[in-house]
Structure 1
Amino acid sequence: MEKQDVMTSHSDSYIKLLKTNRELLVAHIHNTQCLLDNLLENGYLLAEDVEIVCACTTQPGKVRNLLDLVQSKGEEVSEFFLYVLQQLTDAFVDLQPWLLEIGFSPSQLIQSKTIVNTDPVSRYTQQLRHLGGCDSGFLPSYAQGSERELPLEEVYEDPVLELLGPDDESLGPLSGPPWLLDPDPGVLGGQGEAVLVLGDAGAGKSALLQRLQGLWAAGRLGAELRFFFLFRCRALGGLGAGAALRLQDLLFRHCCFPERGADEVFAFLLRFPRLALLAFDGLDELPSDFDPSRAPDSCSPWEPAPPMALLAALLSGRLLSGTRKLLTARTGTALPRNLLRAKVRLRGFGPLQLRNYARRVVPDRAARERLLQQLDAHPGLGGLCAVPLFCGLVFRCCASLCDTREDSGVLTLTDVYLRVAEVHLRRAQPRSLVQHPARCSAETLRAGRHALRALGRVALRGTERGRFVFGPDEVRVSELREGSAQLLPLGFLRVLPAPGPEPGRRVFEFLHLTLQAFFAAFFLVVDDGVGTRELLRFLGTGAGAADGDTDGDGDSDASTGACHPCLPAPCLRDCISAGLVPSSGKDHLQFTNLFLCGLLAKARQRLLRTLVPAAALRRKRRALCTHLLNRLRTHLQGLPRLQSGGFRQVQAMPAFLWMLRCLYETQSRKVGWRAARGIRADYLKLAFCNACPADCSSLAFVLRHLPTRLALDLDNNNLNDFGVRELQPCFSHLTVLRLSVNHITDTGVKVLSEELTKYKIVTFLGLYNNQITDIGARYVARILNECRSLTHLKLGKNKITSEGAKCLAQAVKNSTSIFDIGMWGNQIGDEGAVAFAEALRDHPSLNNLSLAFNGISTEGGKSLAQALKQNTSLEIFWLTKNELNDEVAESFAEMLKVNQNLKHLWLIQNQITAKGTALLAEALQENSSLTELCLNGNLIKPEEAKVFGDEKRLICF
């Protein structure tokens, strides 16, 4: 009874509350329908009451009528009215601060009532979540039997994501995809709103966005994000220059149109853009003349504008300023820094991700282990699996690839895609008691040659024009040209709703860019009408050169404008006028070149001989190999060269890696041998080229034929353990090997230990910033012990503790050649420092040593100082960012009075005070060899440092 009295006393104020705040409510209630629906649903209003409210023609009038009705029906209805305002935050967002201010807390009776959310904004959010969940539920696949789609939750594995700095330097791995939506300030120093995710073709950029969309649809990305708009730039680019859209049309017609209240939803978006995420997939697939920096200074959200102008205004923040933006693009795509909040590189799969992926898609443990053993037996396939797209193909379509090959050659990407084509052709073949399906690969390709040629014609036409979306007319013409071959049932093309105002119109695209490139290359190889000039045009051949036969193969084209007879005559002119010049760096052209080389490889000739005359295959293959070698020679001659450190150093570019990939696909020993002779340098620098493990296969394919020894710099790439294994054939030539910042683990270091100790010629080994633990440190110690020519070893920023440090220190002690050791950023602690102190004592050759940022404190510091009293070789010693105090400073001061060989001593960012500094300054009076003693970042005040101003070698600030 007492509880009921308290509730009644509290509720007496609700009618008065509505009266005293009447004007506030009239001004901020914009959705009376939602209130009417809930009051009617719970029996607080009758249908006649609703008609009375709706009879008013203005919104303020409707609110006043509704307030009068609610107040007239008593306290419970007034309380419920406030409860609806509180629960439907999207509909009554402006009233939420007021409700918090008055401390509104509904009674249990009111909380038991059902709230029906008919607010357009809330309903649209639910609609987006439902469709987002459906769109992200399955991953399109052309990799396995009759399955056309795979459940994303069952096959998705988070790739390796790496944050990039202003100069594209690595700032370390990210915790996972949700970080991309973190609203914290960016790292690029600008005011941009977008996060740009860069990655190679097939690295999983689209799947990453699909995963984020699925997490958002399931409510696992934060409640503050109400809208997720995902755009495919490939479709936006196909709208045409003459199209014009309003911003509302761009958002709703290309993602999801509200079932009701579109204007209200759009108005909410304009007021609260921070609640929306705009994701643009494939920014590099927009027209080549797209430039977001040229967006108009003013752009109206209500007036029609060209789609590219709207997109530029969105990216620059001139429209919907404050929205979170997520962009994906292929590696090498550049955007103005002022548009970006952060840049992220998508690295694909490392060894751990590969095993996790295997666990997902191959549940049976025995089968999974067999598959992983097969990858170990064929390192080329293991290297390909670092790219998620290729990993899916190898795992789901090519598990039996190694067992079914008719030769024992190396497996290449072309082998994988031929297997994909074979699987789908077998599935599409008619099955009956009379007609048996083809059994071997050659029979399967011959049975499906009409479909393959038709697909190739569509793919080549798109490749020439830089197009990836095809209209129904293009597909229909290609089908009819070859006996009405049915392309769509094969599963290589998928149907999409066409962008634009025409409802029901459909367009088509290949499931992936690499698949389109494969069929374009296939058509160039198998069609009799393709001459060598057209065959090589994407590889840099001069299509506009003199008429006649310039290839020396007896195949003459009539004129520069001559195209394949089955293609429109202006196709080559369209290709050139559209800017798709050879070697333009576009992935679709580069992959076409890659598959062209693979299909014309000698090992493929037996397979394709049933489709192409043997003489034509030999002619095309000869022209291709000659052209590849000429291009490589010309490319190498144009690379920057530098005489440094006794080396003739050549700075290679990413384009060089693409050429090596093409050479590797040919699998011609002669081609590899001739390419190696053209390098003519003893130091090859390939740092920051975004090389992956598969590139190591290509690199080793050429470098194994070098006549001399080589220094190889592969720092700051994505090689991981697969790449190290792929480099095995060329270790016998390498004197310098730089593999820093490459995600290498102990497994990769074990391979290095086994290989480098065979030849014992390595002088420089760089493994900085990898994932090496104490186990890997033991392998490195073996290299130190057995490779007596090793002078430089870089192991900083790994995961080595005191146990690994003890092994390394013992190896350093035994080495008479080691000159420079870098151990910055490990965790060796005092035990490790003591071990290195023992190695330093009387060491004959060690000149540079860095033990910075290693958790070394008093015991370790004093041991190092004592050891240096007996050392006569060390000249540079870094102990930055440790825990050294005045007691250690006193020990180093005593050492400086004895050691007259040390030249640079860095004790930066430790715990030394003015007392320790005074001792060091006093010791410098008795030391004439030391040129600098750095104490920046210690516990020294500016006024205290002035006392030591006369000693120029002592640097305190």
Structure 2
Amino acid sequence: MEKQGRSEMEIIPSESHSYIKLLKVNREHLVTHVRNTQCLLDNLLQNDYFSAEDVEIVCACPTQPDKVRKILDLVQSKGEEVSEFFLYVLQRLADAYVDLRPWLSEISFSPSQLIQSKAVVNTDPVSRYSQKLRQQLGRDSKFILCYAQKEELLLEEMYTDTIVELVDFGNESLGSLGSLACLLDPSTGVLNEHGETIFVFGDAGVGKSMLLQRLQSLWAAGQLDAELRFFFHFRCRTFSCFKESASLCLRDLLFKHYCYPEQDPEEVFAFLLRFPHTALFTFDGLDELHSDFDLSREPDTSSPWEPAHPLVLLANLLSGKLLKGARKLLTARTGVEIPRHLLWKKVLLRGFSPSHVRAYAGKMFPERAVRQRLLDQLEANANLFSLCTVPLFCWIIFRCFQHFYDAFDGSPQLPDRTVTLTNVFLLVTEVHLNRTQPTSLVQRNTRSQTETFRAGRDTLRSLGQVAHWGMEKSFFVFSQEEVQASEVQEGDLKLGFLRAVPELGLGGDQQSYEFFHLTLQAFFAAFFLVVDDKVGTRELLRSFQEWAPHGEAAAASCYPRFLPSQCLGGRGLAGEDPFKNKDHFHFTNLFLCGLLSKGKQKLLRHLVPAAALRRKRRALWACLFASLRSHLKNLPRVQSGSFSQVQAMPTFLWMLRCIYETQSEKVAQLAARGICANYLKLTFCNACSADCSALSFVLHHFPKRLALDLDNNNLNDYGVRELRPCFSRLTVIRLSVNQITDSGVKVLCEELPKYKILTFLGLYNNQITDVGARYVARILDECTGLTHLKLGKNKITSEGGKCLALAVKNSKSIFEVGMWGNQIGDEGATAFAEALRNHPSLTNLSLAFNGISTEGGKSLACALQQNASLRIFWLTKNELDDEVAESLAEMLKVNQTLKHLWLIQNQITAKGIAQLADALQKNTGIMEICLNGNLIKPEEAKVFEGEKRIVCF
């Protein structure tokens, strides 16, 4: 009916200047669609077009339509100028009168200079609420939430980008994210047009919360999508603070527990319900949502006014039953998955690259000399630099360096020994405990680490008791009573390990607390388990049960139900929850191994009776080896040629990390003996460079030769450096999609020729240039048993291509070379042509997507006339034309050994295909020539239907 009324509506152009008539003709349309009368009254009154009495008359009308009619009557009675100003207000405040945008566009209203000189104020409740949200988020996101509560670091000055990748459903990379604004861009990375959730995931400490804080800051500054008028940010862990009896409607959750509109909340909420696409919800840390509340007993709710438990509201917001159309951004740690039908985009955070670490150092240490001293120490310790690829650990290490710089007269020295994560957290704990010491201009604090921990034992035990209690129940937010019950003193809170929960109100009127990060809570929980005399071995090892295969965790019932699966539509799941993330247990295990290691006995002997310490150590090692054997025994195995391949899981990496924390060569040797397979596949485990330290620590003890597949992780150059101890064992090295640059390839070039056992080198989709290509060529020259080389999708041009081609030419062992997605061009192709002539072993070659045109294509075709080894040749996505097709046809009359020729997506027409087809009459060896995506029409392709070896579509 509205559309019909609009079509019958008379449109009077503004040039007629009969604004009174325009309002009169379109009266009912205005009455129907003007929902905000207060904004009009405020502007008419401010510009002296209405008197106070006029406003009273309008406000006395009983309904909104009556108010609009009365305003129109008064405006028209006051003449053309007032009528023109009325239209001007509607035009200027388009957000307040969103339903009138099409009409205002159609009438082409153009106000006079007089009217344009009038001030227009936006008192629209929706606009004012949106502005209030911007002010609140701008204030809340201005400073970085640091663990040291006294520090205030400006987000704008300190924020450093991390590696952010768009991925598909299987976590395969779709490319890097250009900017945070691209998260909301519908033109890139969309997996499911009907989904509403942007799912951001990554390991603990890689910067998920910081990304959200930066996103909040951008929205508050108006630098995101202009249509987003609402931004609601919640942290999932705070929903655990609601009592089981809590009940509220969506309106109260948004307004009373987030930000309340100062004016007309009913109108604001009605706008939100009507235009849900103007809202962005962010939910941080789905994996940290734990509660005993059973969602399965509660019905779904799609009514925004119906009261329900807050967790029910959260579940229905995430599933789209409430506010369907609103965009949701959800974060969780790696390992948590959500149903595909909810996903709009999927984003993986990988932390800092080495260049990001340097950029971050520049922001943390503006003084060049100080910054360079830090970077020199990091460069000298690859293990320490590897830890810095996790932004949280990087920040902690930098803060410790700053403390030592201030405390030791500008001569700071980070540990030059092997640095474990336990060492880092002991260091930051020491730094904070020493903050309570009185400072002096003439005398600095000289307490040793042992003295510091002995003096702070009670504080550490109290904090540890809170942390352990939370770990057992998977709780990360603590009430004031829970903190006081653990005897945490006021002075302990000032240390900065515990901080006040930012969202006040979710847990009631009393203050709630949380550790500044999950990893710190895990550290304190482990510390408590080690130093508390009452903790027995059973309680000490309870978190290790999370490593048991499905169905074997004896104490699974001790832990409350984990809610994310229910929130996302996975009700009624039997057994272990597939959405459950175990990082907090894994970190506890890791810190237990570090604290109970031999190297920490000197520190702990003043805190724990020697007998208790020995008992706990023995129990831990027995449990660790039993867990490792059980885990490896249950891993799926595949026999592939001479290899017994095992598909390892992320839990295996956690176990290796724990072994590394012990820093015991004996423990590493025993672990290496337990690895029965000789092909370890660790793809898509989100391994970082620090994990390579753990891998090498164990694998260099492996008694036989080994294949190691680390494709699709985040190792970078420092990970390659950390792998050096185990290169003497590796015959297969797969490092594709790992952010590796020429620097990392240089390490490979220096190390691999020492042993000459390499048969497979995979470096696909990294950041290797011509410099790195020369290093690879040297590896190929010196590792005479190398059979497979994967270098596709790097940054190699003709210069690098020529070096590689020469190395291939000289190799008598190379079987397969993959160069897809580089830019070697015709020069590089000509060099590879020379390599192909009479090559004794090269069987598979891909030069697809390399910018090869006529000259390079003809050279390759000519060379193949003198080749009897090549069986598969990929030339997809180049610029090959009919001239090249003619040369290939001549080649096929001679070469009878080539089996597969892929010419997909080139520039060959029906003429070139006809020549290839004719050549097949004299060739019985070729099995297929793939020509999909060339310049041939369907009707032209019918001519070649009789030749089954020609594939056109």
Query: Under a length normalisation based on structure 2, what TM-score does the superposition of the two structures give?
Result: 0.92
Aligned residues: CA RMSD: 2.7
Change (3 A) 1:456 1:694: same
Q: State which of 827, 833, 855 in structure 2 corresponds to 1:831.
A: 827
Q: State which of 431, 437, 451 in structure 2 corresponds to 1:443.
A: 451
2:754 corresponds to 1:751: no
Deviations 1:439-479 (A, max 9, x none): 21111112211111110011000000010010110111222
Deviations 1:579-606 (A, max 9, x none): 7999975111111111111111211221
Q: How does 1:867-906 map to 2 (within 5 A)?
A: 867-906=863-902
Could you tell me how far apart the structure 2 residues matched to 1:433 and 1:891 are? 84
Match in the other structure for 2:949: 953
2:281 corresponds to 1:278: yes
Could you tell me how far apart the structure 2 residues matched to 1:573 and 1:731 are? 40
Q: State which of 387, 396, 418 in structure 2 corresponds to 1:384.
A: 387
User: Structure 2: where are the runs of 5+ without partners?
Assistant: 1-12, 406-410, 563-574
Could you tell me how far apart the structure 1 residues matched to 2:866 and 2:833 are? 10
Could you tell me how far apart the structure 2 residues matched to 1:110 and 1:407 are? 71
Deviations 1:66-122 (A, max 9, x none): 222222333222222221121222322222222221111112222222222211111
Deviations 1:641-666 (A, max 9, x none): 12112111111111100101111111
Task: Report the Cα offset of residue 746 of structure 1.
Answer: 0.9
Match in the other structure for 1:741: 737
Match in the other structure for 1:472: 480
Task: Report the Cα offset of residue 64 of structure 1.
Answer: 2.5
Q: State which of 413, 427, 430 in structure 2 corresponds to 1:422.
A: 430
Match in the other structure for 2:20: 15
Task: Report the Cα offset of residue 12 of structure 1.
Answer: 4.3
Match in the other structure for 2:493: 488
Q: How does 1:753-772 map to 2 (within 5 A)?
A: 753-772=749-768
Partners of 2:546 and 2:585 within 8 A in 1: no
Q: State which of 26, 29, 32 in structure 1 corresponds to 2:31.
A: 26
Give the stretch that moved more between structures: 57-66 or 449-458. Answer: 57-66
For 1:140, what is the secondary structure of its paired residue? coil
Give the stretch that moved more between structures: 852-861 or 97-106. Answer: 97-106
Partners of 2:378 and 2:384 within 8 A in 1: yes
Letter in 2 for 1:753: C
Partners of 1:166 and 1:187 within 8 A in 2: no
For 2:345, what is the secondary structure of its paired residue? strand
For 2:645, what is the secondary structure of its paired residue? strand
Deviations 1:119-143 (A, max 9, x none): 1111101100001101111111136
Deviations 1:885-921 (A, max 9, x none): 1111111111112222222221222122222222222
Could you tell me how far apart the structure 2 residues matched to 1:289 and 1:171 are? 38
Could you tell me how far apart the structure 2 residues matched to 1:407 and 1:879 are? 52
Letter in 2 for 1:54: C
Partners of 1:849 and 1:878 within 8 A in 2: yes
Task: Report the Cα offset of residue 429 of structure 1.
Answer: 2.9
Partners of 2:238 and 2:507 within 8 A in 1: no
Deviations 1:469-502 (A, max 9, x none): 101101112226xxx4632111111112666578
Match in the other structure for 2:658: 662
Match in the other structure for 1:849: 845
2:629 corresponds to 1:633: yes
Task: Report the Cα offset of residue 301 of structure 1.
Answer: 0.9
Match in the other structure for 2:566: none
Task: Report the Cα offset of residue 294 of structure 1.
Answer: 10
Q: How does 1:914-925 map to 2 (within 5 A)?
A: 914-925=910-921
Match in the other structure for 1:865: 861
Partners of 1:837 and 1:864 within 8 A in 2: yes
Could you tell me how far apart the structure 2 residues matched to 1:193 and 1:714 are? 33
Change (3 A) 1:270 1:578: closer
Could you tell me how far apart the structure 1 residues matched to 2:755 and 2:444 are? 55
Could you tell me how far apart the structure 2 residues matched to 1:781 and 1:503 are? 66
Match in the other structure for 2:154: 151
2:209 corresponds to 1:201: no
Q: How does 1:511-910 map to 2 (within 5 A)?
A: 511-540=516-545, 575-576=558-559, 585-910=581-906
Equivalences, count: 919
Deviations 1:340-397 (A, max 9, x none): 1111111111122222222222222222222122112111111111111111111222
Q: How does 1:127-166 map to 2 (within 5 A)?
A: 127-142=132-147, 147-166=150-169
Q: State which of 388, 393, 403 in structure 1 corresponds to 2:396.
A: 393
Could you tell me how far apart the structure 2 residues matched to 1:339 and 1:779 are? 45
Give the stretch that moved more between structures: 912-921 or 702-711. Answer: 912-921
Could you tell me how far apart the structure 2 residues matched to 1:44 and 1:510 are? 58
Change (3 A) 1:170 1:292: farther
Task: Report the Cα offset of residue 408 of structure 1.
Answer: 6.0
Match in the other structure for 1:557: none
For 2:514, what is the secondary structure of its paired residue? strand
Match in the other structure for 1:454: 462
Could you tell me how far apart the structure 2 residues matched to 1:594 and 1:170 are? 30
Change (3 A) 1:270 1:582: closer
Change (3 A) 1:289 1:170: farther
Q: State which of 77, 82, 92 in structure 1 corresponds to 2:87.
A: 82
Match in the other structure for 2:352: 349
Letter in 2 for 1:139: I
Give the stretch that moved more between structures: 749-758 or 422-431. Answer: 422-431
Change (3 A) 1:657 1:165: same
Partners of 1:239 and 1:307 within 8 A in 2: yes
For 1:675, what is the secondary structure of its paired residue? helix
Higher relative contact order (CA 8 A, sep 6+): 2
For 1:899, what is the secondary structure of its paired residue? coil
Partners of 2:646 and 2:677 within 8 A in 1: yes
Identity %: 68
Could you tell me how far apart the structure 2 residues matched to 1:618 and 1:589 are? 23
Query: Under a length normalisation based on structure 1, what TM-score does the superposition of the two structures give?
Result: 0.92
Could you tell me how far apart the structure 1 residues matched to 2:707 and 2:372 are? 37
Could you tell me how far apart the structure 2 residues matched to 1:452 and 1:229 are? 36
Task: Report the Cα offset of residue 304 of structure 1.
Answer: 0.6
Task: Report the Cα offset of residue 534 of structure 1.
Answer: 1.2
Match in the other structure for 1:59: 64
Letter in 1 for 2:842: L
Partners of 1:882 and 1:910 within 8 A in 2: yes
For 1:67, what is the secondary structure of its paired residue? helix
Letter in 2 for 1:695: D
Task: Report the Cα offset of residue 259 of structure 1.
Answer: 1.4
Deviations 1:610-631 (A, max 9, x none): 2222332233222212221121
Deviations 1:656-696 (A, max 9, x none): 00101111111111100110111022111111111111111
Q: State which of 338, 342, 356 in structure 2 corresponds to 1:339.
A: 342
